[in-house]
Amino acid sequence: MADKQISLPAKLINGGIAGLIGVTCVFPIDLAKTRLQNQQNGQRMYTSMSDCLIKTIRSEGYFGMYRGAAVNLTLVTPEKAIKLAANDFFRHHLSKDGKKLTLLREMLAGCGAGTCQVIVTTPMEMLKIQLQDAGRIAAQKKLMAAQAQLSSSAAGAAEPVVEARTTATQITRELLRSKGIAGLYKGLGATLLRDVPFSIVYFPLFANLNKLGQKDPNVKAPFYVSFLSGCVAGSTAAVAVNPCDVIKTRLQSLQRGVNEDTYSGILDCTKKIWQKEGPMAFLKGAYCRALVIAPLFGIAQVVYFIGIAEFLLDILPKHRA
């Protein structure tokens, strides 16, 4: 991070702006990742990211790729703001007299940031996954209905399968009514299992890569160095924790396709995936996740380090005057 101390409001605004820009750019890839991770052997609707996106556009239209985006765009601001600001906070308090942090202390700062962000990440991911995966389940039901119609010798056409569109608000109300606030935090353990190691890998790796582009320790690295450092560190960390992301996605999915497994917890989910789908199943959607995280964190770090918020906070008082 830069040596210059940035105010907390500026950190929150920078993180929020970064999250909004990043999510808007990469959300369709994230939708493909969710659908690829959730499909199980014998019920495969999609063969690859491109196949998923093409089929989604054909069956749900262009905006079908942005199902669940409203949830992300609403909650990504506090989520990214907490993640980036918390990492700065922990780095500042773990440093001694402004001296360079050791790798262990950088990892501890990342651990703290990852732990803090799940307050927002868990309910955000919980709602987003339901909306993203609804199209896959509906498409699967339509396919099975068509197959049943072809194999049936009975006269007359089968009734079409109509997808019942749900909203994040409806899902939230139902979860709060049936399970209370804990319903929104289903998969909290799996989210921690993913986000804490991610932050432990990401933040130290980014900080050290970014330093390579600094000609002077007291001067910020060029924006393209911050962007590339964020991309490399983000994609590396994303692939490293992808098995945890697969488990989290499966546990947080409330609706299942036909003949798809249900899970009672992290260990049960891990065991069933290993036994029924093999170890490679834990890498499902890994390249999609890398493609999502790389530009997302690249953009986030550029916005964060350029300091858009400092500029806005500086000119607003002058404008009012």
User: Could you state, in order of their start, the residue ranges of all structural domains in the chain?
Assistant: 8-38+48-149+166-254+261-315
Give which of 143, 136, 167 is closest to 53, Cα–Cα: 136
CATH architecture of 8-38+48-149+166-254+261-315: Alpha/alpha barrel (1.50)
Task: List the chain pLDDT tens, one digit each, 321 residues.
Answer: 444 455 666 666 766 777 777 778 889 999 999 999 998 876 678 889 999 999 999 988 998 899 888 888 888 778 877 887 788 888 888 887 667 788 888 889 989 988 998 988 899 999 999 999 988 888 887 777 776 777 665 545 445 555 567 788 899 999 999 999 999 999 999 999 999 999 899 989 998 998 888 887 777 778 788 889 889 999 999 999 999 999 999 999 988 877 788 899 999 999 999 999 999 999 999 999 998 888 877 877 777 666 655 545 554 455 444
- CA–CA distance, 237 with 151 (Å, rounded to integer): 47
What per-residue confidence (pLDDT) applies to 2? Answer: 41
Query: What is the four-CA torsion angle of 21, 26, 27, 33, rounded to 10 degrees?
Result: -150
- CA–CA distance, 197 with 139 (Å, rounded to integer): 34
- CA–CA distance, 294 with 290 (Å, rounded to integer): 6
Determine contact, residues 6/312, Cβ cutoff 8 Å.
no
What per-residue confidence (pLDDT) applies to 213? Answer: 83
Q: pTM here?
A: 0.80
Residue 162 has φ and ψ, to the nearest 5°, of -105, 125
Which residues, 6 or more positions from 146, have their beta carbon under 8 angstroms from its beta carbon?
none
The two tokens of residue 115 are 């732990």
